[in-house]
Amino acid sequence: MLAAFVPIWALTAVGFVAGRSGVLGAAAVDVLGRFVFYVAMPAALLNTLTRQPIGGTAGKAVAAFALATLAVGAVGFCAARWVFRRSLAEQTIAAMASGYVNAGNLGIPVMVQVLGDASFIAVVLLIQTSILTPIILGTLDVAQSDHAAGRWRRLLTVPLRSPVMLACLAGVVLGAVHVHLPRLLGDAVALLGDAAVPSALVALGLSLVPRRDGEGEARRPVEVTLAVLLKSLLQPLLCLVLARFVFGVTGPALLAAVLCSALPTAQNTFVYGRAYGVDGTFARDVIVASTGLSMATLTVVAALLG
């Protein structure tokens, strides 16, 4: 378990030290965040979806995970909308913070360490990137328009303006027809995609450094606590109930579904929010807190169900 978490904390610490020392400059977090969103992450998604095409039945365990994710995300969205009175973009980030799991750089090593198999987390990763990500980015894009007509135009054209969604669409299409990128191009895309996770973690660490100008969003401890509880406790518990008592899932499949639900909030929450002008303080705090708490929840899940 430590082997899965240590690289995350180490790269986040590197970003914090770099930001504290000022060696990368005052605009580093914005520049690095844009690099991840517009360059590295599309390459990573394109590489993943073309090499592991979506196909076949996802299974009852994945269905339980998906339903739990949607339910908890909806609770986070509604709380941000009607309790905390946040904007549409902030509501979307709150929903993502409550249910979007860190399936890539943390989920894969955890599943391999506990189950010895990453097939379940691969399906989850594909669902998140090809289904949830377009919904999230589409909503964030719509939130930037003040008029209804403008919102519809932005929604219809968002795939043309978002490199992440373009990469998802291209990857799904190429994977469905079993067309792979030429080796030289594919290797370059894979190499660039490998920079997405470490760059996102360094950007997250940079964001932990207080701004010298004092600007930025105020801390939101109540909202952060709610999002962390939804993500780290309610989502795995709901997934357990759905998988075991609704779908009748047992054994390794049950462990895989609940273990995946107990993963912390993905750092993409911070990256997407900053890319669409949402202050990253809330997302950053949820990511850090849920990642720390998940060391305990993942261990408990593995001990009880393993």
Q: Which domain covers residue 112, as residue numbers?
A: 2-8+27-204+218-305
The answer to whether the predicted template modeling score (pTM) of the entire model surpasses 0.85 is: no
pLDDT of 175-227, one tens digit each?
778 888 898 999 999 999 888 888 888 888 888 887 654 455 678 899 999 99
What average pLDDT does the structure give for the chain? 84
Look at residue 113 and tell me if it is in a domain.
yes
Look at residue 264 and tell me if it is in a domain.
yes
Q: Which SS3 state, helix, strand or coil, does residue 116 take?
A: coil
The pLDDT value given to residue 154: 61
Do the Cβ atoms of 224 and 264 come closer than 8 Å? Answer: no
| Cβ atoms within 10 Å, residue 301 | 21
Look at residue 211 and tell me if it is in a domain.
no
| Total residues belonging to the chain | 306
pLDDT at 58 over 70: no
Beta bridge partners of 101: 265
Look at residue 20 and tell me if it is in a domain.
no
Question: Distance between CA atoms of 19 and 222, rounded to whole angstroms?
Answer: 27
The pLDDT value given to residue 53: 60
Q: Which residues contact 213 (CB under 8 A, 6 or more apart)?
A: none
Question: Distance between CA atoms of 241 and 243, rounded to whole angstroms?
Answer: 6
Q: Which residues contact 234 (CB under 8 A, 6 or more apart)?
A: 72, 75
Look at residue 55 and tell me if it is in a domain.
yes
Look at residue 67 and tell me if it is in a domain.
yes
Look at residue 117 and tell me if it is in a domain.
yes
The pLDDT value given to residue 56: 46
Joined together, the tokens standing for residue 41 give 């992450």
pLDDT of 26-56, one tens digit each?
888 888 988 988 898 888 878 877 876 655 4
The pLDDT value given to residue 188: 93
Look at residue 287 and tell me if it is in a domain.
yes
Which contacts (CB < 8 Å, 24+ apart) does range 191-197 have? 192/39, 192/40, 192/43, 192/44, 193/40, 193/41, 193/43, 193/44, 193/45, 193/46, 193/47, 193/48, 194/44, 195/40, 196/36, 196/40, 196/41, 196/43, 196/44, 197/44, 197/104, 197/105, 197/267
The pLDDT value given to residue 103: 84
Overall number of domains in the chain: 1
pLDDT at 297 over 80: yes
Q: Mean pLDDT across the stretch 234-257?
A: 94
Q: Which CATH number belongs to the domain containing residue 149 in this structure? A: 1.20.1530
Question: Distance between CA atoms of 155 and 285, rounded to whole angstroms?
Answer: 29
